Amino acid sequence: MMPVVFLAPACTRADGSNTHVAFAHGITKPVKSAQFLAAIERALFSQKSNAQAAPPPKTDLPLAERLPLRVLLVDDNSINQKVAARLVQQLGYKPDLAANGKLALDALDAQHYDLVFMDMMMPEMDGLEATRRIRERQVAGVHPNYQSRILIVAMTAHAMAADREKCLAAGMDDYLAKPIRPNDVRGIIEKWGPQIQPQAAATPAPAPKIETAPAPAVAMPKAELAAAVAQPPSPLAGEPPVDMGRLNDLTGSDPATTRELIDMFYKQTAQQLKQLEDALRANDTSTVGHVAHSCKGASATLGMTRFSPIMLQLEKMGKAGALNGAEKLCVDARNEFKVIQDFFMAQPGLDVPPPAV
């Protein structure tokens, strides 16, 4: 069965739920190149629309009752944590949270988890290293919390085949491209949950073969380096600063939840913009790259269509070690941040007070 990607009209649900066709994934118009690439990657690699796979039995039971799993969410960004936790909670689960790979290992030492959603880029210990250590402990078979199956699903903003291969080489089982959508989370649990549950009372399956050697560093190609320092393209004419269809999809159009996420975005972004400006004055390229990456991820998750690309350019500059033009991007980010605040102030019930400057 050839995967089909649903192109939904603006401000509508992109899951194709009102149709009779089984879509692999959906995108809300206007379609942007990064979203299109991510949808293609998910459609090709998620395998959730495999024609040979039997459809799950219809039942009125919540997913968490049909497939009871202990879930751990690992992400260093508080907004991404909040959104991912809400998506899992909507399915009936009560996830625990960890802010980096080291804290994830501490949580696994304290109790067993069946399913771990693992962010890739985090301070102290990233998702790849944390996964390698989990698999090593499973192979050792000493600690009781590591002796049964642990499903690890990567969460990353890089929707490229090479990143997927890095995840699998480190010992991860599957891959979700950010921004994560409700149907993606459900699809992962429905795909892997039945394979985990029967093992609870059976002999634990052997841990997958792991790569113990760290992945070699890859030099950035000259073409990519040049692109990293290029100015971002102008936003599409008439494109709104916020994709409300995306935001409502995350919150179920609940005003209280939407206001909470807006308030979190305001406070976190105001702090991160100051960190970026301080890092620029100090010519600290590493901090620019890390902070911009975190800010990009949160803004993309919430549907900030014009703000996220600015952060992406700053992230690339920081990683390339070339900050020429970064000051202008910070000014653009400040201006777009104000545009986002004005946009929400004009929405009924979403006039969250902006942060004090």
Looking at the fold, whether 209 and 297 belong to one and the same domain comes out as no
| Geometric angle at alpha carbon 181, from 112 and 341, rounded to 5° | 115
- Mean pLDDT, all residues of the chain: 81
Looking at the fold, whether 99 and 39 belong to one and the same domain comes out as no
Looking at the fold, whether 206 and 248 belong to one and the same domain comes out as no
Domain, as residue range, for 249: 222-229+239-345
Looking at the fold, whether 166 and 109 belong to one and the same domain comes out as yes
Looking at the fold, whether 100 and 187 belong to one and the same domain comes out as yes
- pLDDT value for 2: 76
CA distance 32 to 28: 9
pLDDT band at 168 (very low <50, low <70, confident <90, very high): confident
CA distance 178 to 299: 11
Looking at the fold, whether 318 and 199 belong to one and the same domain comes out as no
CA distance 97 to 73: 5
Number of domains, the chain: 3
Residue 234 lies in a domain: no
Helix (H, G, I), strand (E, B) or coil at 70: coil
Measured on CA atoms in the order 333, 335, 339, 340, is the torsion positive or negative? positive
- pLDDT value for 264: 95
For residue 55, pLDDT over 70 is answered with no
Looking at the fold, whether 74 and 101 belong to one and the same domain comes out as yes
- pLDDT value for 136: 94
Q: What are phi and psi of 154, to 5 degrees?
A: -75, 145
Q: Give yes or no for a contact between 308 and 329, defined as CB atoms under 8 angstroms apart.
A: no
> Is the entire prediction scored with pTM above 0.85?
no
CA distance 167 to 175: 7
Residue 59 lies in a domain: no
Residue 158 lies in a domain: yes
Looking at the fold, whether 134 and 189 belong to one and the same domain comes out as yes
User: What number is the average pLDDT over the span 321-343?
Assistant: 95
User: What number is the average pLDDT over the span 90-115?
Assistant: 95
For residue 214, pLDDT over 60 is answered with no
Instruction: Convert the pLDDT of each residue in 223-272 to its tens digit.
Output: 443 444 444 444 444 678 999 998 998 888 899 999 999 999 999 999 99
Looking at the fold, whether 246 and 177 belong to one and the same domain comes out as no
Instruction: Convert the pLDDT of each residue in 76-93 to its tens digit.
Output: 999 999 999 999 999 999
Above pLDDT 70, what percent of the chain?
Answer: 77
User: What number is the average pLDDT over the span 47-67?
Assistant: 61
Helix (H) / strand (E) element for 256: namely helix 255-281
CATH number for the domain including 305?
Answer: 1.20.120.160
CATH number for the domain including 151?
Answer: 3.40.50.2300
Output the six-digit token pair for 265: 């975005």
